[in-house]
A and B are shown apart, each in its own frame.
Chain A
Amino acid sequence: MTLRTSKQVGEWINRNKKISFKFEGEQFTAFEGDTISSALWAADQKVLGRSFKYHRPRGVLSLANHDVNVLMTDGIDTNIRADVVEVKDGMVLTAVNTTGGVKKDKSSYIDSISPLLPVGFYYKAFHTPRRFFPFWEKVIRNAAGLGIVNFDYPRILKRKQHSHCDVLVIGAGPTGLTAAYEAAQAGLEVTLVDENRQVGGSLTYDRGGETAASKQLNDLLIKVANQSNIKMLTGTYAAGYYPDHLIPVVSEGGINKVRAKTVIVASGAFEQPPVFRYNDLPGVMLGSAAQRLIYRYGVKPFNNGIVVTANDYGYRVALDLLEAGTKVVAVVDLRKGTNTCGAAITLAKRGIKIYAGYCVYEALASSDKSSVRGAVLCEYDNIANVALTKNKLTLECDGIAMSAGWAPAGALLYQAGTGMQFDNSVQQFVPSRLPAGIFAAGKVNGIFDLEQRLQDGKRAANEALRYLGLEAPQITVARPVGQPSDLSCPSHPYPMVPHDKGKNFVDFDEDIQIKDFVNAAKEGFDNIELMKRFTTVGMGPSQGKHSNMNAIRILARIRDLPVEKIGTTTSRPFFHPTPIGHLGGRGFHAHRLTSLHDWHQANGAVFTDIGAWKRAAYYPTNGQTKEQAIQTEAMAVRTAAGIIDGSSFGKIEVHGPDAAEFLERFFTGSYKTQKVGRCRYVMLLDDSGVIADDGIASRLADDLFYLSIGTSNAAAVYREMQRSQQMWQLDIGLVNVTGAFGAINIAGPVARTILSALTDLDLSYESFPISSVRESHVAGVEARLIRVAFVSDVGYELHIPMAHVPHVWNALLEAGKQHGLRPFGSDTQRLLRLEMGHPMPGVDTDGLTNPFEIGADWAIEMNKPYFIGQRSLQILAKRPLRKQLVPFVLAENFKGEMPMDCNLVVDGRAILGRVTSIAYSKFINRCIGFAYVSPAKTAVGSTFEIRTDSGTLVKATVAAAPFIQNQKGA
């Protein structure tokens, strides 16, 4: 632990607990609380990872969750962010994205051929000849770095919860803590989130060589801790903003969707690096990273360091380095002039050499490029923003701390729709127009002075209070007004140092240099969104937190435009990469079971999902295949009888004197003339005339219709009915009885015989013909019996209370035992209805199909004053049909490759339509189906060709439906 300092006030490590771990095969020790990076850095391990593209050695950059070149794997998890993830005893870690280890990465040769690999090279280099592209694709994919997905990753549940509060404060730095305290003082329920393990923000590391910040933090924490109405969530980041102040906050344990009445964003700012040659070497780090190492982890960033700065913050960093025992060789300030800030005066007093108006022209690498051995300084032309290389000066050092400015952590503000404008005085985008209920405070608001930030937190809290209708005094906190050239400006307007040999990195995630932006602009990608995509700046795992602002400045310079004219790229949730497991959560898959589910299960049913329901699809017996089971069940229905559990059908009662009127408006048919005891077909369209669903309306009384509709759309149809009723205000009552009533369909030649044993109702054709409904008892249970002919021309739907369905089902099976009755499933039902020639919405129609295309003109009463979709149908009726659904057969004894649902109907290269349903019917010994064909091919006997999956063309012939003969007296 050669770089470990003495104990620091407020440090995050527990020096009483030592732990050990392995990195790249070597044993290391650490203290409890160390991150992986801090522990390795303390042990003088400088090369922590390799860069994404050029495999350059990389070390600590931010130590703030953005060191994406220092991603590790422990063999189970991958892309572990070493800069913030706490090291654990016994960990065995390796860096990702290396070939043969981080120290001797064989892929590092790519760095030496980097001139051949500028951004966008692969867009141009590999697309021709096309036949080689699969080869290059493989090469590129293999070369593309970061961790390898572990497909054996254990399923670790991450809960997704909801919570509520009056105020959500994002960021627990001095501003956020103050805002939370002030809001809590007023009695509000406050949730305070911070991505760091401990609260305090910059007060935990930015001390300027003094202890005042530490004391200030302690005082603040005591105040906050005394407020029981503040819920503090650390290690938790606010991942995105969604309407009505819904903000998912993500922690290791899962996602908490916080619904807040108001939100205060005190998320701070990301420190931005100056851009100079070799600013990526291990040992070159942001000033705030150096401070974090010192005060959070008790680690000296380097022994002999230079601070290169373009603001006063760098001077504070220098003082902190001195405090840690680092010899500060020099402070190099891009700005000219004598700095009179307190830190500069203190440094001068302590004899630290300050090079004002100078830049680091390049960092000098050790022979293996694994560390810094010095820096070349030049005078810096602050107008042209170039190094004046006539008088170079070389200083020996083993590290460089960089402070060039800040970029607001404003992602959530952008997502919330905040208007942001560029403020020249602070050289930063700041909120200019905040959405209702959202407030920004602190650095993200362009306020940098600590005392002002505390005031700004109080101001934001007061504004939040007033937003919630409480009284609170108005506080004004003004941003400084001045010129970018003023020494007080927290950010430099253009901290770039061009270098002929490049390697001056703007984006560390993707190894993007200044010249890459110039080249992109030359190629015409000179809009910020286009440039982002061509160069990939900001598209790495850190999402441009250290590169976007510099990229904007560079593009502004290239186009000779002010920064505000360039704008920013779009910020989308999530703000930070979030594991899929978090997004997945527990995984609720709501499903419905009929009261016969256990019976189906006990009798070997294979289930299928239809809508939300688990339905028995078929019941294979004695090792039957699916096809065999379906044919067996279908034959039973054709030759004897079958029963199917239809409890999943949608079932809706429409009560009231206007019930018929309601149906007339809602469906396409005519219902006012429907007699009690009769059933009519219903078809529902959407406003564009597309078929949405169909079913049967049974009139039980003048003022009561009982609707049975499809399984999948029942909930949506009921919702649409409610919506329509809200508009129409008819005298009706809608009752959804889908779950309250079960249904059994008994069908087949002996269905009547079987059913008659269980009911007193006269089932004869004369008394109870097709399309009629009766209320009676079956097996002692009150039932609505509907004569349907969906799967057979002898069929009865029995609608009974759901809880009684098993009783009736078993009674039917018992009564039908001697008649060959057997259950059939929904897959068999599809074959049976196909034999009957009934198209099914959702199977034989799609999201564009209108009734004319399926030949359902007969179901439309166009002369009605109104029905949903009528106006669209009136328009469609005047247009020629482009396709039409027809029943078809394949050749007798067809033995070729069986076409499948969705295979195309073709004529040469032209696509005429598609197959919507196709099956072999054992009963009629023929392959039958429905297909869309061109209207010219709809006559019975017309032929067309179906292209199978393998490309074979199969001839089909338009047939008449139904495919089976009706039974006499059915």
Chain B
Amino acid sequence: MQVSNMKTISQTSPVAHAQLKSNAKWALVNGINTAVEFGSAEVEQARKKILGVTDVSCLSRYGVKGAQAAKWLAERQVTTPANPNSWSVSDQNTLVLRLGGSEFVLEDQFAGSTCARLASDTNRVPNVYKVPRADAAFILSGSEVLNMLSELCSLDLREKSLGAEEVIMTQIAGISAIVLRQDLNGEQVYRIWCDGTYGPYLWDVMVEIAVELGGGAVGLACYQS
């Protein structure tokens, strides 16, 4: 039998198909081949200010649901948001999203290890069900982000309607997605997650609109520093 080390198996961002046509610079992040630069730093900063679209699918994620999921996470020192459809930041800057009442998505930011720690616990516990995540994930930034989202989503995503701690599950460009608003490094951004198999489609749609509005693709490197 041919034995491979799981960690050495090459993986690619689920969005990569849509990014291959650009002259992106690629790098392995969390073991996933990811587009880290789409242009010079000046170009990307300029796009980011107007409307930047960044693929952050490579960040580690862990999903769990079930009536005992909150308890299970708490036992593992993960602080969960108290309210349904809200999010918080746990240790190591891990985002903890509570979808509905009993489903959670955790996303480590760069260098976080909470998700890996939770994944290593393979014991099956009643009413705690692991939800394998294979998301395409994006950060949207810039002054025109709401302009773009108004074309993609029928919900009101403005600050006055989408609270700072709220998570919404909605349709973006016709597909199911999770959306939240976040202050990241001093700027307001929107985070979007969708099924990874829709990733290339959503990337194409968002970058097309971003370019029309004066922005464009921004590499992951912009958020790594």
Contact = CB atoms under 8 A, between A and B. Distances in A.
B175 A259 contact: no
Contacts of A701: 124
Kindly name the residue among A157, A588, A597 whose own CB sees the greatest number of chain B CB atoms within 10 A: A588
B2 A803 contact: no
Nearest to B1: A760
A781 B4 contact: yes
B1 A801 contact: no
A758 interface: yes
Interface string A757-780: 111100000000000000001011
B174 A588 contact: yes
Contacts of B174: 588, 590
A231 interface: no
B83 interface: no
A807 B17 contact: no
Given A259-B154, A757-B2, A591 B9 contact: no
A191 to B, nearest CB: 13
Nearest to A814: B2
Contacts of A758: 1-2
B1 A804 contact: no
Interface stretch (B39-47, B106-114, B190-198): B190-198
A804 B11 contact: yes
Interface in A779-820: 779-782, 801-804, 806-807, 811, 815
B6 A780 contact: yes
Interface stretch (B74-82, B86-94, B131-139): B131-139
A802 B20 contact: no
A739 interface: yes
B24 interface: no
B2 A801 contact: no
Nearest to A246: B154
B10 interface: yes
B17 A593 contact: yes
A592 B197 contact: yes
Contacts of A161: 147, 150-151
Given A586-B151, A739-B134, A802-B134, A815 B198 contact: no
Given A590-B173, A737-B132, A807 B1 contact: no
Given A657-B126, A737-B132, A807-B10, A597 B17 contact: yes
Given A259-B154, A595-B14, A598-B17, A588 B205 contact: yes
Contact of B12 (A157, A257, A591, A803): A803
B84 interface: no
A896 to B, nearest CB: 43
B205 to A, nearest CB: 7
A966 to B, nearest CB: 28
A733 interface: yes
A701 B199 CA distance: 32
**Residue in A162, A703, A738, A782 whose Cβ sees the most chain B Cβ within 10 Å:** A162
Interface string A298-331: 0000000000000000000000000000000000
Nearest to B195: A739
Contact of B175 (A590, A647, A807): A590
Nearest to B5: A780
A762 B199 CA distance: 37
Given A162-B153, A595-B14, A780-B3, A739 B129 contact: no
B157 to A, nearest CB: 9
Contacts of A741: 132
A844 interface: no
A296 interface: no
Given A588-B173, A757-B2, A803 B134 contact: yes
B197 A802 contact: yes
Contacts of A590: 173-175, 198, 201
A838 interface: no
Contacts of A760: 1
Contacts of A803: 11-12, 14, 32, 134, 196
Interface string B50-86: 0000000000000001100000000000000000000
B151 A733 contact: no
Contacts of B1: 757-760
A740 B133 contact: yes
Contacts of A245: none
A803 B58 CA distance: 11
Given A759-B1, A780-B2, A815-B2, A592 B198 contact: yes
Most chain B beta-carbon neighbours within 10 Å: one of A591, A733, A757, A811: A733
Contacts of B198: 590-592, 739
Nearest to B18: A593
A811 to B, nearest CB: 6
Q: Which of A593, A704, A801 has the most CB of B within 10 A?
A: A593
B117 to A, nearest CB: 18
A802 B127 contact: no
Contacts of A591: 198, 201
A66 B11 CA distance: 60
A163 B129 contact: no
A777 B5 CA distance: 11
Given A759-B1, A803-B14, A257 B154 contact: yes
A779 B4 contact: yes
Contacts of A597: 17, 200
A7 interface: no
A348 interface: no
Contacts of A588: 173-174, 205
Contacts of A164: 156, 158, 161
Contact of B196 (A160, A259, A739): A739
B11 A733 contact: no
Contacts of A804: 6, 9, 11
B124 A733 contact: no
A656 B156 contact: no
Contacts of B150: 161-163
Given A779-B2, A807-B10, A160 B134 contact: no
Nearest to B11: A803
B154 A811 contact: no
Interface centre among A160, A590, A597 (most CB of B within 10 A): A590
B9 A735 contact: no
Contacts of A163: 150
A603 B201 CA distance: 21
A594 interface: yes
Contacts of B133: 740
A802 B132 CA distance: 10
Interface string A463-499: 0000000000000000000000000000000000000
A706 to B, nearest CB: 12
A598 B10 CA distance: 15
Nearest to A802: B134
A65 B174 CA distance: 34
B203 to A, nearest CB: 11
A656 B9 contact: no
B67 to A, nearest CB: 8
B12 A595 contact: yes
B71 to A, nearest CB: 14
A22 interface: no
A655 interface: yes
Interface in A602-649: 613, 647
Contacts of A693: none
A655 B66 CA distance: 10
B151 A653 contact: no
A807 B153 CA distance: 36
Given A803-B11, A803-B196, 7 more contacts: A591-B201, A735-B65, A739-B197, A740-B196, A779-B4, A803-B14, A804-B6
11 contacts: A162-B150, A162-B151, A259-B156, A592-B201, A595-B12, A647-B197, A733-B127, A760-B1, A779-B2, A806-B12, A811-B2
Interface of B: 1-6, 9-12, 14, 16-17, 20, 32, 65-66, 124, 126-127, 129-134, 147, 150-151, 153-156, 158, 161, 173-175, 195-201, 205, 208-209, 212
Closest 4 CB pairs of A and B: A780-B4, A739-B195, A740-B132, A592-B197
